[in-house]
Amino acid sequence: MKISEILKNNRCTVSFEVFPPKQWDKIESTKAVVDEMCKANPSFMSVTYGATGTKAGFTQEIAEEIKRCGVTPLSHLTCLTSTKEKVDSVVDGLKAAGVENILALRGDIPEGFVFPDEQYFEYAYQLVNEIKERGDFCIGGACYPEIHTESKNRVEDMEHLKYKVDCGLDFLTSQMFFDNEKFLDFVEMCRIKGIDVPIIAGIMPITNARQIKRSIELSNCSVPKKFYKIMERFGDDDASMLQAGIIYATEQIIDLMANGINNIHIYTMNKPAVALQIMGGLSEIIR
Ligand code: FAD
The pLDDT confidence band at residue 217, using thresholds 50, 70 and 90, is confident
Q: What angle do helix axes 225-234 and 238-258 make, rounded to 10 degrees?
A: 160
Is 269 close to ligand 1, i.e. is its CB under 6 Å away? no
For range 203-210, the mean pLDDT: 88
| Structural contact between residues 230 and 212, judged by C-beta atoms closer than 8 angstroms | no
pTM of the model: 0.96
Non-local CB neighbours of 26 within 8 Å, separated by 6+ positions: none
pLDDT 10s digits, 162-203? 999 999 999 999 999 999 999 999 999 999 999 999 999 999
Q: What is the pLDDT of residue 252?
A: 98
| Count of CA atoms in the C-beta half-sphere (13 A) of 177 | 23
The Cα–Cα gap between 148 and 126 comes to 18
Is 265 close to ligand 1, i.e. is its CB under 6 Å away? no
| Structural contact between residues 18 and 203, judged by C-beta atoms closer than 8 angstroms | no
The Cα–Cα gap between 222 and 97 comes to 39
Please check the confidence at residue 52 and state whether its pLDDT lies above 70: no
pLDDT 10s digits, 98-129? 999 999 999 988 888 887 777 789 999 999 99
CA of 75 to the centre of ligand 1 (A): 15
Residue with CA at minimum distance from ligand 1 atom 26: 49
- Our answer to whether residue 17 is catalytic in this structure is yes
pLDDT 10s digits, 228-260? 899 889 999 999 999 999 999 999 999 999 999
CA of 282 to the centre of ligand 1 (A): 30
CB burial string 150-175: b at 16+ within 10 A, e below: eeeeeeebbebbeebbebbbbbbbbb
Q: What is the mean pLDDT of the chain?
A: 93
The Cα–Cα gap between 72 and 204 comes to 21
Please check the confidence at residue 269 and state whether its pLDDT lies above 70: yes
Residue with CA at minimum distance from ligand 1 atom 47: 108
Is 266 close to ligand 1, i.e. is its CB under 6 Å away? no
Q: What is the pLDDT of residue 58?
A: 93
Closest CA to 287 of 9, 2, 12: 12
- Ligand 1 atom nearest 122 alpha carbon: 3
Is 164 close to ligand 1, i.e. is its CB under 6 Å away? yes
CA of 78 to the centre of ligand 1 (A): 9
Please check the confidence at residue 55 and state whether its pLDDT lies above 50: no
Q: What angle do helix axes 272-281 and 27-38 make, rounded to 10 degrees?
A: 10
Q: What is the pLDDT of residue 54?
A: 52
For range 7-20, the mean pLDDT: 94
The Cα–Cα gap between 13 and 279 comes to 11
Of the residues 5, 17, 28, 111, only one is catalytic, namely: 17
